[in-house]
Amino acid sequence: MGVLNVTPDSFSDGGRYFDTDKAVEHGLDMAREGADIIDIGGESTRPYSGEISAAEEMDRVIPVIEALHKEISIPISIDTCKAEVADEALKAGASIINDISALRFDPKMPGIAAREGVPVILMHIKGTPGDMQINPVYDDLIHEILDFLKDAVDRCAAAGIRRDLTVIDPGIGFGKTFDHNLQIIRELSQFKSLERPVLIGPSNKAFIGHILDRAPHERDTGSMAAVAASVMNGAHMVRVHHVKKAVETVKIIDAIKRGSSSD
């Protein structure tokens, strides 16, 4: 999953693709580099970030989705927790909802997902982007996240969303300390118990910068190490900023896991 932030304040790319034309070109580049999904977001969810209106978010993402939908055959996901934005994005050509709140922040979101019959990505977050990194504490990290995600899948089923359309994401960096993030990656195999595909997004995150003492744009090597460990430990999907490097990394890890160099 290639990340396309159409924002002026992303922690990772600093507004590099805020311009619609640049965003579309970057999306096309990621598709050419081997992305299986393009994930488009118009609101930053970095720590301590504030909200923007649904109208502003749609102004950012809808033109990009419409343009890319005409040019690429791979799915487009909309990264939002606003039902109105998701609804318009699906009309514009998106076919997946990626919601950092696991469909909790907007009570209308489950209904839209159920009506449209699209896959939903359910992420664990402790708090909101504005406060999630203020002393996140857990009694039992993995089991608390597992319980949260199991409840999220159950809530979706109760709302009419098929279980086979749900993907779970433990939420690296969303209400976790650096050590929490490392533990999640190390113990990712435990999430197999939920019998749902697991997505993980370690790319360029602060824990990598902390370990390597690198700025966000200098974390490629660390990001690929985290991607490799995640796939080795059971991730089915990885959300990344640098698609070409991630595709090559995942190919090697897949070959190691299979014990074969053949596709």
Query: pLDDT of 119-161, one tens digit each?
Result: 999 999 998 888 888 889 999 999 999 999 999 999 999 999 9
Residue 250 located in a structural domain: no
CATH number for the domain harbouring residue 19: 3.20.20.20
Range of the domain at 8: 2-199
Residue 217 located in a structural domain: no
CA 165 to chain centre: 16
* Predicted confidence (pLDDT) at residue 17 exceeds the cutoff of 70: no
Residue 181 located in a structural domain: yes
Residue 254 located in a structural domain: no
CA distance 162 to 160: 6
Q: Quick check: is 108 catalytic?
A: no
The confidence score (pLDDT) of residue 51 equals 85
Q: Quick check: is 258 catalytic?
A: no
User: In sequence order, which residues have a C-beta less than 8 Å from that of residue 219 and are 6 or more positions away?
Assistant: 203, 204, 205, 208, 209, 212
Q: Confidence class of residue 9 from pLDDT cuts 50, 70 and 90?
A: low
Residue 27 located in a structural domain: yes
- Total tally of structural domains belonging to the chain: 1
Q: Are 185 and 200 in contact (CB under 8 A)?
A: yes
Residue from 60, 82, 205, 219 carrying the catalytic annotation: 205
CA distance 111 to 117: 10
Residue 224 located in a structural domain: no
Q: Give the containing element (helix H, strand E) for 120.
A: strand 120-123
The confidence score (pLDDT) of residue 49 equals 66
Residue 119 located in a structural domain: yes
The confidence score (pLDDT) of residue 50 equals 74
Residue 44 located in a structural domain: yes
Average pLDDT of the chain to the nearest whole number: 94
* Predicted confidence (pLDDT) at residue 251 exceeds the cutoff of 80: yes
